[in-house]
Amino acid sequence: MKTFLFVNNAGVKLPTKKRSGKMESFSANSARSFIGRNVNLHLKDGAVIINVQLTKLFKGVGKNNNQIEYSLHGNRKAARVLLKNIAWAEMLNLSLMENTA
């Protein structure tokens, strides 16, 4: 098994493992590093959930049932998404966004 490191647009190294030509999903260890930060979540179906803050990681019963809880910037209401549906997360720098407004 070979391990590859991919770098996204934010310069964050994302460890992934390649097995038989297939990339594994966003892992719980990767998700933990983004808790408390504002990110764009890129889903495997091509959708992007923009400018959300990751708040908690929930371990589900069984294999691949872990979920990440997120809330919109400035909103207290939270939602959850399965980790296996996330392709990668892009960290945001809010100070750059505030300066452009």
Query: In which residue are the tokens 């992007």 written?
Result: 48
Share of the chain above pLDDT 90, in %: 42
For 78, list phi and psi in degrees, rounded to 5.
-110, 155
* Higher-pLDDT residue of 10, 88: 88
Q: What's the pLDDT score for residue 19?
A: 46
Taking the domains of the chain in order of start, what are their residue ranges? 25-100
Q: What's the pLDDT score for residue 1?
A: 44
Global pTM reads 0.68
Give 16-59 pLDDT, tens digit per residue: 544 444 445 678 888 999 999 999 999 999 999 999 999 999 98
25-100 under CATH 3.40.720.10, yes or no: no
Q: How far apart are CA 37 and CA 100, in angstroms?
A: 20
Share of the chain above pLDDT 70, in %: 69
